[in-house]
Chain A
Amino acid sequence: MTIVIKTKNLCRYFGDNEETMVKAADQVNIEIEKGEFTAIIGPSGSGKTTVLHLMGGLDNPTSGEVELSGKNIAKMSGGELCDLRRDHIGFIFQSYNLIPVLSAEENIEYIMLLQGVKASERKKRVKEMLELVGLSGLEDRRPGKLSGGQQQRVAIARAMASRPDIILADEPTANLDSKTGIALLDVMKELNEKHDMTFVFSTHDEKIMSRASRLIHMRDGKVELDERK
């Protein structure tokens, strides 16, 4: 089995004062294997966002390491980290993922443009992705004219289109009603199964977490339980 992301004794503390210091991530050791569909769950403030950001190289750990496909990202410069995120990691956030002045199609193209993908290839992938997330026909709409669920699907399509090793999603369904949330998760699940895309996402929602093949329970910055179904 290939390991996509591995964290070693990962710690992220906020504040310098011993007493008031918050341990948002505390000795976190997680290995994510290729093709896994993992949910990080836990109460508010347990460190889900912190861990996802550390895994994606958005934040620097206080101590410990993150390895992405065997490479230690702590040793990377800002520019390298930026390119790493562009080429190897897909991000989906809770909401407002899209550039409001670009159409769905242009949003999906965005990372590919940064990557320097050829125009013909971009068009091909955009079409393919819109089909995968079930939004064919809506390519010219701007985010303001799409529903919350549709916007999140465009965000998934954008992440997928850049062909990352892994997609990190921080509460992608939190701003959606439960039905739309489940539908979105089904899209992710399908991409995971049919295209072998690795997903790590965080959630509060019981119905959503039940669809994951692996659950990482967090509390006070620590991994409390790591269960595979």
Chain B
Amino acid sequence: MQLVQLAFRNLFRNTRRTILTVLLISFSLTALIITDAMMRGMTDLIVKSITETLLGEAQIHKLGFRDNFDIDLFIDDAADLEDSLSNDPTVLAHASRTISGAIISSSYNVTGGMVYGIDADAEADLSRIKIAVESGTYLSGKPNEILIGKTMGELLEIKLGDRIVVTLTEANTGEMTQALFRVSGLLHFGITEIDKNMVFINIDEARKLIRLGEHGAHEIAIRFRNPEDAKNPDLAVFKDHNTESLESLSWLQLNKEVSSIIEMSSYGTLIIGLILFLLASLGVINSMFMSIYERIYEFGVLKAIGTRPLDLGVLIMVESLLIALISCAVGIILALLISEYTSTVGIPLGEMEFSGLAISDRILTQFHISQITELPIYVILLTMVSGLYPAWFASKIIPTEALQRSL
């Protein structure tokens, strides 16, 4: 019947209470959406900071290399592998690298570090090395170029153009070898581990120095067209290149620490969501009960003239549903308005380094369709569940008792 109409009109009997209830629920939804958007923004920031700095979204190594960076465990024919990656439509960029431990000395000081031989052009599309050049120039392929982390540079007391000597071990033979470089650029990543320990030289030079052959590499880093692909184990990149001698892993597998932090942060959203929901649902129960108490006499009359108990219960449920629907509309609009700001201007954080990652000074909240499809459904369900008890109470009203209440 016109139950919906009756319920709708009942909402406007005590407009102030209805508005307050609606605000309570809609603010909860808004807070939940913004929290979710913030968590997504934060996760995205962390993920980008990891994958875009150096790691890439996936890497291929010789099996066992990762255990202790054994210089002998290199991929013999990286060129062949890179060809197949070039033909893979899911892959956006890929680059071969050599990685070896070294002693790095200037005229003033000596330090240990990692020497990365990189393909300057390919690396520009894959990592932040080029962007991190704070002074000097990026690698151009000329002989004896080297990029050094700023912190290491300070330790070695060098400036651009200064000479440094890098001492390395040759693959297979284990013989020591030395080479002279001129500092062509100083890097600032904002990540201590890199700024202090890493130097980058041209890969061809590196290959010759440590005798990897023309196409040898320790690592091939990969970026996907769709970053989400990193989570898809059925992807050709992972399926085809996990062989007896090679392993192809996503960044989630390569950086277990961070992937578990991200997993934990989703529990954070859940807990905040639960608390908000609990508060909102107490509000709904309270407000529905108040509205029922005010109408006990009326419900007594309605029952006396033949309204079935179930119909009264349904009336209360419909009223709850209407409140939920209005609240969701308000909550979504509010959330969209707020995230209009927070997704462009961002929420300020202050600079921080978080478990070896440089995080920018603010979080840009991220919209996801589930925020306006899934979350409101939870809110509606919860409001309906909260409405159950008041509805049951209304259906149990005994007419003779209700009618005896003095008004």
Contacts and interface: CB of A to CB of B under 8 A. Distances in A.
Interface of A: 49, 53, 56, 58-59, 78-79, 82-83, 85-87, 90-91, 93, 95-97, 99-102, 110-111, 113-115, 158-159, 162
30 contacts: A49-B404, A53-B403, A56-B304, A58-B403, A78-B309, A82-B306, A82-B308, A85-B304, A85-B305, A86-B307, A90-B305, A91-B301, A93-B304, A93-B403, A95-B407, A96-B301, A96-B407, A97-B301, A99-B298, A100-B298, A101-B6, A101-B10, A101-B13, A102-B6, A102-B9, A110-B305, A111-B306, A114-B306, A114-B311, A158-B305
A53 B401 CA distance: 11
For chain B, the bracket of interface size reads 20 to 34
B400 A91 contact: no
Contacts of B369: none
Interface of B (DSSP majority class): helix
Contact of A93 (B301, B303, B307, B311): B301
Nearest to B311: A114
A58 B302 contact: no
Interface string B7-18: 001101100000
Contacts of A110: 305
A91 B302 contact: no
Interface string B386-407: 0000000000000110011001
A78 B395 CA distance: 12
Nearest to B306: A86
Interface centre among A79, A95, A101 (most CB of B within 10 A): A101
A97 B400 CA distance: 14
Interface string B284-314: 0000000000000110011111111101000
Contacts of B297: 96
Interface in B117-155: none
Interface in B173-204: none
Given A85-B304, A91-B304, A59 B400 contact: yes
B345 to A, nearest CB: 45
A58 B397 CA distance: 12
B158 to A, nearest CB: 83
